Structure 1
């Protein structure tokens, strides 16, 4: 993963320069200067990303892999160059990156591929993915629904059992329980790298070690890690990983599935049709190797090119520097919220390394009301269960407010947010 700058935290001057690259950050909301603290849901786009997508439509727009004309050749080169860039961003080979609509689509692709390997006449190399009534799929209690519901459905279709690693009161995984839950029947361990609610950075090496000891495949949800900290899928030794473009400065409608080359080539296809076949007769079809075997139909070409532009922007800024910067912001938010009365914080305590997102409950005020109160001041945060109902239930809550920072967030914005939260209970008459 190429990085061009010193791995120290971004300073204030650099952050202010970075902000100039993001047109939307200059907008007013409700007559107030926008304070955007919802990057954990969707990040904003730098001008270079917007221009990359526009440039494709203005100068190269054509179907890829399908034409002999010059425009199609240029589009195909740009499309595959984008794949190579995103592969570099996560430390993979370009043949190991499959374009998907988003991370959710990547996880569903895996779950359905495992299901396809479990029924009917499948090639011998695909049977390694088959699961049945004697097998177990293991997830964690902190998973986003996208990394839970597809595995529930796989178990429903195949008869396999779903088990989970519980979360401690401190907002970390119970590793003692993990060692008991992951056992000889475990076929797949799927877990999030960084919790989208707690900000917890999970011990990937430890969990991968438990999975390797029993021969289980490892699926990593990297949605909250790929945009915010250095990610090297080879060094992490995971078998599959997913991440989305719109959380890492890119456009919506594009994500990526990483898979070890030998596993992707053996994995049964899920979506079938044009562009993923070798020979088709009226009786049978043959399929291309990965990644094309998972990319049927017309691809999100402009989105892939823009996602690659986002990856280049992040690499040029330096992922180590972004991570260090966000660590400072995370502690500032935590310390500030901890000083306010009636605030219950979720996740690791101040002083523990975590992602730059904080979920919290305001005593006596529903999260939706908190969000609307802050929005009236131009402060954008996320409210609800954040697609993690079991995790909220674990802490006795139905909803929380979540503030999430990124490389363009300033200390002044964090302070404005803290000042806003400080006024919530008084505004709603809660003592």
Structure 2
């Protein structure tokens, strides 16, 4: 099946997977794919993955065709993740599956929508997009006749559950999932999951610069306030003195990604050696994240994040659009709670009678919406939506 693939001893091996929550018939073979390849393909073919093309990444309901959405971001994360995984001898298919699936739990309008759902669900355990990713893949996305969910491998679910490292105090959604299929929440995830997490950081750190400049929220002068960005800009300008500023900015973003990827590879190899990591479980049992930036690059990356929050994510126009988006999601939650008969038939027939399950069911429905569907539903049921819900 994959006899030509050379894996490092510490890589996850699909032939040694801990399996799936629900046993599948082994005599049903749909092509010569490994466990992790099938996981990746199930994610790509899912409805929830397709909906990412109309969910906000940074810019709310963008009118322009060139801005990133959750889908394009996920594809870019996967590209970076595969590159790192291949260089380190990890399983590329598992890494790719984790990268592609990591944002599936995001509601419409990104973090603004998540804030509105958190407010609406305060008395029912709250809302968290990371746990919602697991809930979507294990319970809500159900194309198969014999079980709920996509029945992904333990390794994919573990990596998604511990996207940010070990979880010692899981929220209700993650605790419910873990009770059904123990994901060893207190340990670090696989190296592939750690690579997927750092690939996510690299992607949005740099691609958000590209979108921010394109939208006019960031300027070159602002970017050059960061010393390591200024050094890269100087190097790019020396190499391409006749290129336009726009072209050099794109080259700056590419070179930044390359620097970060190379740093992750070098720093990860050093930690693998220092911590004597020989197997996949050695990485899980370590007391630190093995795959990640060097200490020097981590400081630079934190400075970049701080800069992006101040200048882009908390930009007045961003905040204004986020306020409008929260209104839409809040109005939808309130409407469906007061008028559950408005739910689509397949959601209405499964609506629990008791709380907190009723509210969680409604939140599942709203969280799955795309930006544009949420707007249409808001206007349809409440008669209005905030005007000008766009910041580009």
- After TM superposition, the score normalised by the length of structure 1 is 0.28
Higher normalized helix content (fraction of residues):
2
- After TM superposition, the score normalised by the length of structure 2 is 0.29
